[in-house]
Every structure is written in C-alpha cells, then in structure tokens.
Structure 1
Amino acid sequence: MKEVKYKSYDELPLTLSVPEVAAVLGISRAGAYELARSKGFPSLSIGSRIIVPKDKFIAWIETQCTGGK
C-alpha cells in the first residue's frame, strides 16, 4: 500500500503540483492532469508547469462535497 504523504490540509504546500494533487485525491497522475485542465478547477499555468494554489484547492474540494452549493 502507498504511504500517504499528507495527513491534513495544514501539511500541504502553498502551491501543489499536479502529481501532488493526484496524491492528495488518491487518483492517477493522468486523471489529475485532466482535472487540472478542466473548467472550474483552480489551476494556473506558469510556462509549461501547472500549479494549484492550496487555498483555492481546498475551497474547490469543499464546493464539490456540498454539491456545488
């Protein structure tokens, strides 16, 4: 079984890479890249790199859990 790197939101870095998003959500790296490119997901491109701000990521998760309300 894979070791969990982060145990709470407080342990997350200020910005997450797509592989880190995959690890947090427990999804594949390919799935995380698809998610990062989807409309409504809080990612930004810096050159060829995609990053996700921690605070926006947490807010996105909370929005998804409440059915978008």
Structure 2
Amino acid sequence: MNAFEHYPPVLDVTHIQEILGIGRRQAYELVNSGDFHIVRIGRRIKILKTVFIQWLEGEMEE
C-alpha cells in the first residue's frame, strides 16, 4: 500500500504537516519557500499530491 494513498489528490498545509511530522509554522515556511508549485485560493494554499511527492523524492526539475 502506498503511504500517500489515503490523501486526496490536492493537499493542504495540514496534510504536509502530517506527512512530514512538522509543526504548522514549519509547514507554512516550506510551502512558501518556492521549492514546489502551490496554488493560493483566497487564504488557502493547495499543493498537487503528485507535485509534493516528486519534491519529497527529489525528482523536481530545476
């Protein structure tokens, strides 16, 4: 079973916290770092699960 299977296709900051085991502040710093593409919808931040997994596995294109 894939470790990310139970997460939705579009993640939010709470999901990032859970996956990485980090705090809220660290999660927001990470998503605002520019290391991967995010989408802002009002005050909400969304990340495609596939994009996050690629970043986590070190497969992001430079």
User: Do the structures match in fold with TM over 0.5?
Assistant: yes
In the TM superposition, structure 1's runs of 4+ consecutive aligned residues that sit over 2 Å from their partners are none
Relative contact order, higher structure (CA 8 A, sep 6+): 2
TM-score by length of 1: 0.74
Rounded Cα–Cα distance in structure 1 between residues aligned with 2:26 and 2:37? 15
Q: Which secondary structure does the structure 2 equivalent of 1:31 belong to?
A: helix
TM-score by length of 2: 0.82
Structure 1: gaps (5+ residues): 1-6
Q: How does 1:6-45 map to 2 (within 5 A)?
A: 8-45=3-40
Structure 2: gaps (5+ residues): none
Aligned residue pair count? 60
Amino acid at match of 1:35: L
Higher helix share: 1
The match for 2:43 among 43, 48, 51 is 48
- Could you say which structure has the larger radius of gyration? 1
Shift of 1:30: 0.8
Shift of 1:43: 1.6
CA RMSD of aligned residues (A): 2.1
